[in-house]
Structure 1
């Protein structure tokens, strides 16, 4: 990781933790009273194809739901309370990951850290994607996250959720992550962090959130639109 990117991460993370500490304390108390313990969810994520770390988030599902494994879709909707939905919608549940940034597990900007099961299943994809340190936000997060939520929200079983995520989400997110990787710069990180800060105020319907620009739109038009730099689509 370039020194300028690491210094940017540390500076912004320390600033945000200082400014947002009252909000973090309020959210912790509200979650403790309304939802009970534990307040935080700590799950294994991959920083590289061979190195894992413990990602910290505010818990936004009933205790034990994570035992099912995989990503969250409509099959887990009943495990998410109205308060949890607010945290997810505003991305406030992601704020504790600033600790991961300070520790060096994550960057502010980069690909979202995947679960070990997906990295093991698709080593060709994540071998390329995880050449960048995982981030709290990124190009794929801003351009595809809401559409991903909409896609997975239509699923009613764990098997269906997994199939849709593997077939329709992983390849698309990888394309966007590789676009960021090729264009990575400190200025781009600043732009993406600023857009992330403003996103809760201009959120649109998930199904219309992607694509937002013409070049990516053409690349993402169909699951069969072809590989990205030799990376094949994962099998359903």
Structure 2
């Protein structure tokens, strides 16, 4: 059922989004006469690598800087890229990866190999399913760029402030995954574009109903400042890169 819904919804989504995506793709190409696509190597189910497609929001060869995490004020982001990121259009084209079977509509977000090498055994469970375009964590941390804005080392900040809670939210999703939860998360992802606060309230309500611990509910509400925490299955906070 999950795979069938992935195929049908991704195909429909690509057709519906085409009138928006095609003009944006042209604008991305027009600004520097390079491909509007960025092919991002990621680690998928079973720790197998795959090529994730994104609309390019950065300058050419931005990935050669060695920085994987992107702050909102990152100078590598182009003018068109700011718009693309604001409305998550860079991720809409990943519906093609869903259609192909590399990804699912809902599941833990895929990560780069340098990051997955750091995973604890508990986090490795996130690699037992197809990665997704969205999940609880994607909604809760849709402002990831703002969280990392102004940080001296965005990668370390990501591993201290975002990765731990993304991991716990991803593991919570795995415990409760199902077609109806997937449909709810897809709807909440769309809602988050119009009203992030309403989407966060709905996420907290859903997680509370499913018995989420208070600490995870506090993080999901995003009403308090994030504090460094160890990743799932670790005893200490990450202090070094890779």
- State TM-score, norm by structure 2: 0.82
Give the direction of change, closer, same or farther, for the CA distance of 1:106–1:232 in structure 2 (3 Å limit): farther
Cα deviation for residue 82 of structure 1 reads: 2.6
Task: Give distance in 2, aligned partners of 1:38 and 1:124.
Answer: 38
Cα distance in 1 for partners of 2:146, 2:87 equals: 16
The alpha-carbon distance between structure 1 residues 231 and 129, as it changes in their structure 2 partners (threshold 3 A), is farther
Query: Residues 1-236 of structure 1 correspond to what in structure 2 (within 5 A)?
Result: 4-48=1-45, 50-69=47-66, 70-73=68-71, 77-146=74-143, 148-155=144-151, 157=152, 160-203=153-196, 213=204, 215=214, 216-218=216-218, 222-224=227-229, 228=232, 230=233, 232=235, 235-236=238-239
- 5+ residue gaps, structure 1, are none
Deviates more, 1:30-39 or 1:113-122: 30-39
Is the Cα contact below 8 Å between 2:7 and 2:98 reproduced in 1? yes
Structure 1 residues 46 and 210: alpha-carbon distance in aligned structure 2, compared to 1, 3 A threshold: farther
State the alpha-carbon separation in 1 of the partners of residues 123 and 102 from structure 2. 16
Counterpart-to-counterpart distance in 1, 2:201 and 2:55: 26
Contact 1:49 1:119 in 2 (8 A): no
List per-residue Cα deviations over 1:96-154 (Å, max 9, x = no partner): 111100111000001110000011122424411112210011111011231x3222112
User: 1:69-88 CA deviation, whole Å, 9 max, x = no partner?
Assistant: 321125x6212123211110
Classify 1:231/1:130 alpha carbon distance in 2 versus 1 (closer, same or farther; 3 Å): farther
State the Cα distance separating 1:203 from its structure 2 match.
3.6
When residues 212 and 9 of structure 1 are mapped into structure 2, their CA distance, relative to the original with a 3 A threshold, is closer
1:50 CA drift (Å) = 2.9
Using the size of structure 1 for normalisation, the TM-score is 0.84
Q: Distance in 2 between matches of 1:211 and 1:16?
A: 23
2: CA distance, partners of 1:6 / 1:233: 37
